[in-house]
Structure 1
Amino acid sequence: MRENDRVTSATRRPETPASTVLPRLIATDLDGTLLHDDKSVSQRTIAALAAAERAGVEVFFVTGRPARWMDVVSDHVHGHGLAICGNGAAVVDLHGGPGAHRFVKIRDLALENARDAVRMLRDAAPGTAFAVERTYGLHLDPVYPSLHMEAPETVAPAEKLLADDAPDADQPVLKVLAYHDRIAPDDFLTLARLAVGDRATITRSSPSALLEISGPGVSKASTLALCCAERGISHEEVVAFGDMPNDVEMLTWAGRSYAMGNAHPDVIAAASGRTVANNEDGVAVVIERLLAGKA
């Protein structure tokens, strides 16, 4: 078995007993996890993050969001200022604050793999609409719906967006988005994974049938594992939080993990513990217990 296979395994890890030893790193998803539904960060959560850092625990934000959508948490990273974005496609330094984020690691989706994934999904699920996420902008199929908070850089068929001479072709492709308006979200994910196979990693974080396609072996878990290895941190020393299928591998990999009260059933099955919902500050609840030696 390859190392990436171990990192991204979706087999549930046995529950880790409660310990009074603090973790060295907290890894938390954002939307549906750390953030309230209105995308705010509560004062309780801000205080819990700050307390964790004062206790010597690093906090990583691990999200499907692109780097340019990270302004909402830039003021709450307390010193180290690192985030894993795009489901593991990029590690971003947030030290400069809003508008000054810097890429420190990129794990892109090769053009050949992206083109293959688009072709395979068009064949397997006619009517699929695509978007291409590059480092600094979003590019859309003409039929792709208005799902995101920004205007596209370019509108053209996905094949043209992925051509060698495409607009912004000098920027790496971080992920391809695929949307279908007539297939149930979990069914679309299963169909896409079967169709595309090992040409790409496919997951989802949206309640709709919107899939996120990354490079082979690229996930929140695998990039988090790389970052932890660089710091000499083992998976047993990590506590992770999440709510959607794109969090499953990370929750499985971490020594301790918590599904939110609002989590997808697959996330509940993968995590070793559970906390209350995002709107009830579920991440802060666990951090407070960790710091008090009660989790």
Structure 2
Amino acid sequence: MRHHREVTEQSGRPGPPQAPTSPIRLIATDLDGTLLHDDKSVSERTIAALAAAEEAGIEVFFVTGRPARWMDVVSAHVHGHGLAICGNGAAVVDLHGGPGTHRFVKLRPLERAAALGVIDILRTAAPGTSFAIERTGGIHHELAYPPLHLDPAVTIAPAEKLLAENSDVADQPVLKILAHHTELSPDAFLALARTAIGDHASVTRSSPTALLEISASGVSKASTLALCCAERGIPPEEVVAFGDMPNDVEMLTWAGTSYAMGNAHADVIAAASGRTVANNEDGVAVIIEQILQN
């Protein structure tokens, strides 16, 4: 049974976060806007809470839209414990070797034909869309796509060329497509893309801008987490999940107990079974500490 959040009659705001009543064997947490503070740091309180959870026999999974190469922010500060589900479910990465030694242990790539089909659909449905291609070895994007200053593109070219069969990186699986629009609002772009693409691919977003993240059909944080939990014999009822953006909704719905952060998107609040305080207030650590006290 899902645990519904308490709401005060006077304010309509969530009351104090309540710990799950079922035994918990796995913690699945998003990173940006959830586990991390806005400055991308991991607080000492959070580091201690994660370490205490693992010492108590509770496995920790970091579940993020980030690519594997952006995971040092976690592994460097929490000593590399746990596995990471990256790219919204497209890859499972072993962090145990520490920064710079991350290893792919599971890939759920977007096939070339499907990727080209999605790009064609969005070029028609939302003219002005620019694209980036996230492969296992790095990101490649079109000239019009907003550059990532901390993560420069390996190649800049039209998306169709980036996906060509004779590309220098054609042997690297495509983890996701990123689609950016300069005029549409983030939620309007997401709704339009989901309608246009249908079941050809999975479409979500985690950015405050109109930036969509597109994975293979059926691939999400939730579906990959479910696979990993099944391998460990862990049912959803023994999982607690945390998130703040639309790319977390399926995971929060799947987990037996889930928490929207105090800073979460409205769709996340609706999907989660509970609510904790904001990321900058260590909302994940607050719940973990309560779990360990039970």
TM-score range, shorter chain: over 0.9
Q: Distance in 2 between matches of 1:255 and 1:233?
A: 11
1:15 aligns with 2:16: no
Relative distance call for 1:97 and 1:136 in structure 2 (3 A) is same
1:242 aligns with 2:243: yes
Q: Distance in 1 between matches of 2:156 and 2:177?
A: 14
Give the AA of the match of 1:15: H
Q: How does 1:72-91 map to 2 (within 5 A)?
A: 72-76=73-77, 80-91=81-92
1:225, distance to aligned residue in structure 2 (A): 0.1
- Residues 154 and 167 in structure 1, CA contact (< 8 A), matched pair in contact too: no
- Residues 237 and 257 in structure 2, CA contact (< 8 A), matched pair in contact too: yes
Q: Distance in 2 between matches of 1:227 and 1:221?
A: 10
Q: Distance in 2 between matches of 1:49 and 1:18?
A: 15
Per-residue CA deviation, residues 169-194 of structure 1 (Å, 9 max, x unaligned), is 11000000000010000000000011
Q: Distance in 2 between matches of 1:280 and 1:76?
A: 18
- Residues 49 and 76 in structure 1, CA contact (< 8 A), matched pair in contact too: no
1:147, distance to aligned residue in structure 2 (A): 3.9
Where has structure 1 moved over 6 Å in runs of 4 or more? Answer: none
Relative distance call for 1:280 and 1:218 in structure 2 (3 A) is same
1:107, distance to aligned residue in structure 2 (A): 0.2
- The equivalent of 1:37 in structure 2 is 38
1:80, distance to aligned residue in structure 2 (A): 4.9
- The equivalent of 1:280 in structure 2 is 281
- The equivalent of 1:69 in structure 2 is 70
- The equivalent of 1:59 in structure 2 is 60
Per-residue CA deviation, residues 257-290 of structure 1 (Å, 9 max, x unaligned), is 0000000000000000000000000000010111
Q: Distance in 1 between matches of 2:281 and 2:31?
A: 14
- The equivalent of 1:7 in structure 2 is none
1:81, distance to aligned residue in structure 2 (A): 3.2
Percent identity, aligned pairs only? 74
Unmatched 5+ stretches in structure 2: 5-17
1:20, distance to aligned residue in structure 2 (A): 4.4
TM-score (norm 2): 0.93
- Residues 53 and 78 in structure 1, CA contact (< 8 A), matched pair in contact too: no
- The 3-state SS of whatever aligns with 1:193 is helix
- The equivalent of 1:191 in structure 2 is 192
Q: Distance in 2 between matches of 1:81 and 1:274?
A: 24
1:232 aligns with 2:220: no
1:75, distance to aligned residue in structure 2 (A): 3.5
- The 3-state SS of whatever aligns with 2:207 is coil
TM-score (norm 1): 0.92
1:289 aligns with 2:290: yes
Q: Distance in 1 between matches of 2:212 and 2:60?
A: 27
